[in-house]
């Protein structure tokens, strides 16, 4: 027996918020996989803390998006009963956690992107979104700094750590494009004053990344023309497995209270 | 933040003692220790482990090997003479209410 899936409406407003909320949720799930596996005890706690921050941000956004969607869903139904094609996070967030270098490069990329996004969302015309952003902006600032320190440590560390950083950057680089690929959903958000077009964030994001890469003594990988489409529900092969694990209990025991 | 010299071996991160002043507190209290590669990392890790990120918290970290402790074997000589000499303690004054935290 399994629980039927839910669908969300196609309003640009809901889609815009779900893209951000899903990003937080899926990265939180990936960071949760580090629990008990980080290189040192203190970093284990740090990764768990960041996963919890992201999960909190996801809960706030999903709850709000569900309310705007007006179909009577709640955060749990959106998290546990949507199918892959209904998830709108960029592919970057769903990739397996990889090694520690991979995790820190992705954390830096996402934290910087979220920081720039939250800063602008603080002046959203939607007061709920502005309030969520005001709370989240401090968290993302910390996440960014924490990851930046690791990027410099690893990039400027041993031959092994440098090689792993180079490898992580090469793997992740093509996935960054999706973070700044503007489309109709962004355009609608700008018109409504809901939030910025993601494309607007790119120059500042790139400047942050360049600064840290320079400190770490790392070169840019070659630019890639590839643009993933997770924001439109087209995911990598990893997404289905992630959701199968995440949603198992709710699907197996529909409507269970917890 | 400049990194403090690592006095351990290359493989072992040195031990740091952590002192935290809570938002309403008056002084930094020792709350534990942790291993970290340098002072900057020690501050970040102390924040993760000991503060739950309360705002208004101040953290000090110091290399454990920089701390000099009194010798427990000399406890008697150091501290006992004060115990039965109440006249040595300034406890006979009535403090005005305006003076807090003494």
Predicted complex ipTM: 0.76
pLDDT for the residue B96: 82
C-alpha to C-alpha distance for A230 and A245, rounded to whole angstroms: 19
Q: How far apart are CA A148 and CA A146, in angstroms?
A: 6
Give the minimum alpha-carbon distance from A58 to chain B in angstroms, rounded to a whole number.
20
A11 in contact with chain B, both atoms CB, cutoff 8 A? no
Rounded distance between C-alpha atoms, residue A30 and residue A97, angstroms: 6
pLDDT at res. B6: 47
The number of helix segments (H) and strand segments (E) in chain A equals 10, 0
Secondary structure (DSSP) of A65-82: HHHHHTSS--HHHHHHS-
CB-based contact, B40 to chain A, within 8 Å: yes
Selected for mutation to probe chain A from B15, B48, B56, B59 (highest A CB count within 10 Å) is B48
- Please enumerate in sequence order all residues whose Cβ is within 8 A of that of A104, keeping only pairs 6 or more positions apart, or say none: A147, A150, A151, A154, A168
User: What is the model's pLDDT at position B99?
Assistant: 77
- Whole-angstrom CA distances from A22 to A93, A155, A248 are 9, 30, 18
Contact A122, A59 (CB under 8 A): no
Confidence of residue A159 (pLDDT cuts 50, 70, 90): very high
B34 and A CB contact within 8 Å:
yes
Distance set, CA A25 to CA A28, A180, A254 (Å): 5, 19, 21
| CA pair distance A196, A193, nearest whole angstrom | 8
- The pTM assigned to this predicted structure is 0.88
**Cβ contact, residue pair A149, B35, below 8 Å:** no
Q: How confident is the model at residue B9 (pLDDT cuts 50, 70, 90)?
A: low
Q: What are the backbone dihedrals phi and psi of residue B59, each rounded to the nearest 5 degrees, phi first?
A: -120, 135
- Indicate the burial class of A17 (C-beta count within 10 angstroms; 0-12, 13-18, 19 or more): buried
Q: B85 pLDDT band (50/70/90 cuts)?
A: confident
């Amino acid at each position: 027996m399994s629980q039927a899936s839910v669908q969300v409406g196609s309003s640009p407003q809901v889609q815009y918020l779900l893209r951000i909320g899903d990003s937080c949720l899926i990265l939180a799930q990936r960071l949760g996989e580090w629990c008990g596996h980080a290189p040192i005890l203190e970093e284990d706690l740090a990764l768990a803390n960041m996963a919890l921050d992201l999960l909190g941000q996801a809960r706030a956004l999903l709850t709000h998006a569900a309310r705007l969607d007006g179909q009577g869903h709640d955060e749990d139904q959106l998290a546990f009963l949507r199918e892959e094609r209904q998830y709108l996070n960029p592919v970057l967030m769903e990739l397996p956690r990889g090694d520690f270098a991979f995790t820190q490069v992705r954390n830096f990329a996402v934290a910087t992107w979220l920081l720039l996004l939250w800063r602008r969302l603080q002046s959203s015309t939607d007061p709920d979104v502005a309030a969520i952003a005001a709370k989240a902006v401090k968290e993302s600032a910390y996440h960014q700094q924490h990851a930046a320190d690791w990027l410099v440590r690893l990039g400027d560390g041993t031959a092994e750590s440098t090689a792993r950083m180079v490898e992580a950057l090469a793997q992740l680089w093509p996935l960054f494009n999706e973070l700044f690929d503007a489309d109709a959903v962004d355009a609608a958000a700008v018109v409504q004053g809901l939030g910025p077009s993601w494309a607007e964030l790119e120059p500042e994001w790139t400047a942050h990344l360049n600064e840290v890469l320079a400190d770490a003594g790392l070169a840019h990988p070659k630019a890639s023309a590839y643009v993933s489409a997770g924001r439109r529900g087209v995911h990598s092969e990893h997404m289905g497995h992630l959701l199968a694990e995440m949603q198992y209990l709710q699907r197996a025991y529909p409507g269970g209270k917890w | 933040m400049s990194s403090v010299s690592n006095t351990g071996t290359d493989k072992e991160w040195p031990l740091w003692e952590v002192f935290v002043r809570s938002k309403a507190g008056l002084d930094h209290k020792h709350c534990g220790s942790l291993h970290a590669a340098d002072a900057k990392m020690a501050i970040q890790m102390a924040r993760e482990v000991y503060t739950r990120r309360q705002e208004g918290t101040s953290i000090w970290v110091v290399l454990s090997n920089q701390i000099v402790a009194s010798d427990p074997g000399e406890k008697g000589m150091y501290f006992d003479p004060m115990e039965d000499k109440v006249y040595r303690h300034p406890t006979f004054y009535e403090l005005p209410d305006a003076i807090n935290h003494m």
